[in-house]
Amino acid sequence: MTTLAFLGLGAMGDPMAAHVTRHARQGGHRALVWNRTASRAHAHAHAYGSEVASLEQAAQADVIFTCLPTSAQVDEVLTVMEAHLKAGAVWVDCTSGHPQAAAAQGQRLAARGVTLLDAPVSGGTGGAQAGTLTVMVGGPADALEAVRPHLAFAGKVVHVGQGGAGFAVKAVNNALLGAALWATGEGLAVLARAGVDLHAALDVINASSGRSNASQNLIGQRVLTREFPATFALGLLAKDAGIAADLTGSVQGSAPLLAQTAALLRAAEHLIGADEDHTAALKLIEQMNRTELH
Ligand code: NDP
């Protein structure tokens, strides 16, 4: 029997852990859950049949999943769990983390005989609920093959390279999301000031070469409706774009557009609010243009 532990039952982790628990129960495995706010872990156990565990108990699992805001929180739980870990285990970090943190954490875990896979996900809370997330994995290929059957929340799993590569790909992906979102917001603000109907403009853009996930889904569903449902925090997107900027520096790359995206999202985080939905970044563009996107 394999013991699976899932740490961090937030907007993403809660539905991901539900898939892991269902898979574990079907396969005769154990599914443990831990969350900083314990009531969420108890609610999960009640809803899905997982077992609430302490960090020390979760450290004894064969496969440990984490889905926390940043690598800093992963460091915190790792510090508590380190002495209790089981040699031979695999730690699958689904946080959108930092490649440099993956290197340091991988070394700490290796000293305990545990393998780290950085395995961030894409697909949003909808993808987490549907179990169709894309997972980009860095780390040893044999460790990925060992845990692949347990990635019950995934629709697509791609091994992208050595440790840290998963976090690097995720950071660039989200910097691209931020760039497209911001640029489309700017374009629509200009069109609004020109008196163009934005629903008609989006209709055209979505049938033309300027389209993106931002234009096809996010702006129509979240911005023009003025709903801005908080499923993915602006502070987390700013964090991801910042990681992409850090990555650029660490490889001595030149990516000024991505750097500017990181700076703009950081400004939006400060002025609009870290906990707002990421699409609320466009409220800053609205202020810059004295217009509303509706
Ligand atoms: P949430 O804010 O919804 O959840 C965060 C989780 O981390 C909660 O379980 C929270 O516990 C826990 N946590 C926060 N601080 C600490 C701490 N100091 N120690 C221990 N646990 C802590 O975040 P998401 O689920 O949205 O995001 C998780 C990760 O997934 C992030 O890296 C994000 O970038 C990434 N991601 C998010 C997507 C989305 O659409 N939301 C999509 C793809 C990736 P508590 O309940 O106690 O607050």
Ligand 1 atom closest to the CA of 12, numbered from 1: 25
Nearest CA to ligand 1 atom 35: 96
Residues 156, 170, 239, 283: which is the catalytic one?
Answer: 170
Q: What is the mean pLDDT of residues 232-248?
A: 98
239 flagged as catalytic:
no
Query: Counting beta carbons within 10 angstroms of the beta carbon of residue 239, is it exposed (0 to 12), middle (13 to 18) or buried (19 or more)?
Result: buried
Per-residue pLDDT of 33-45, as tens digits, reads: 999 999 999 999 9
Right CATH for 168-289 from 3.40.50.10860, 3.30.70.260, 1.10.1040.10, 1.10.4080.10: 1.10.1040.10
Ligand 1 atom closest to the CA of 239, numbered from 1: 34
Which stretches of the chain are DSSP H helices? 13-27, 38-48, 55-58, 71-81, 99-110, 124-130, 141-147, 165-193, 198-205, 213, 234-250, 256-272, 282-289
pLDDT at 262: 98
Where do you find CATH 1.10.1040.10 in the chain?
168-289
Per-residue pLDDT of 80-132, as tens digits, reads: 999 999 999 999 999 999 999 999 999 999 999 999 999 999 999 999 999 99
Ligand 1 within 6 A of 136 CB? no
Nearest CA to ligand 1 atom 36: 96
Where do you find CATH 3.40.50.720 in the chain?
3-161
Ligand 1 within 6 A of 231 CB? yes
Question: For strand 133-138 and strand 121-122, is the pairing parallel, antiparallel, or unpaired?
Answer: antiparallel
Ligand 1 within 6 A of 128 CB? no
Of the pLDDT bands very low, low, confident and very high (cuts 50, 70, 90), residue 191 is very high
pLDDT at 134: 98
Burial state string for 174-195 with b = 16 or more CB within 10 A and e = fewer than 16: bbbbbbbbbbbbeebbebbeee
Ligand 1 within 6 A of 36 CB? yes
Pocket test for ligand 1, best of 6, 36, 44 (most atoms within 8 A of CB): 36
Alpha-carbon radius of gyration of the chain:
20
Ligand 1 within 6 A of 236 CB? yes
CATH architecture of 3-161: 3-Layer(aba) Sandwich (3.40)
pLDDT at 283: 99
pTM, 2 dp: 0.98
